[in-house]
Amino acid sequence: MSLDEIRKKVIFHNSVDVWIAACSEKNKSWTNPEDYKRFISYLLKNNLNLKAFNLCAHEAGATEDEKVKFTELLSETKDDPNSLTYTIKLSDSALNTIRSYDL
């Protein structure tokens, strides 16, 4: 699903789903937690308004084993702000920042 498609559903999304959608748009794999951490670091450095929250795999709609495993791996390093899950408001400027990230 693309960023535009998830934006149509609701304007706030969790960062894992945004990460997956961004990777999907660029036809890249989303399953490496280290890549996700670099993505979050980029968003934080670019002053995107992110709000951290605890996300369980089932709350993210994770029915796929890969997504469950991914969120569990992230939770193992919860002391690292780049491994947290955030809410992201998918405004036009946020989408531009997300899309400018070089996967």
Instruction: Express each pLDDT in 60-72 by its tens digit.
Output: 554 578 888 888 8
Find all residues with CB under 8 Å of 32, minimum gap 6, and list them: none
Please count the other Cβ atoms lying within 10 Å of the Cβ belonging to residue 101: 14
Instruction: Express each pLDDT in 11-61 by its tens digit.
Output: 888 999 999 999 999 999 999 999 999 999 999 999 999 998 876 555 555
Q: What is the mean pLDDT of residues 75-94?
A: 90
What pLDDT was estimated at residue 47? 93
83, 39 in Cβ contact below 8 A? Answer: no
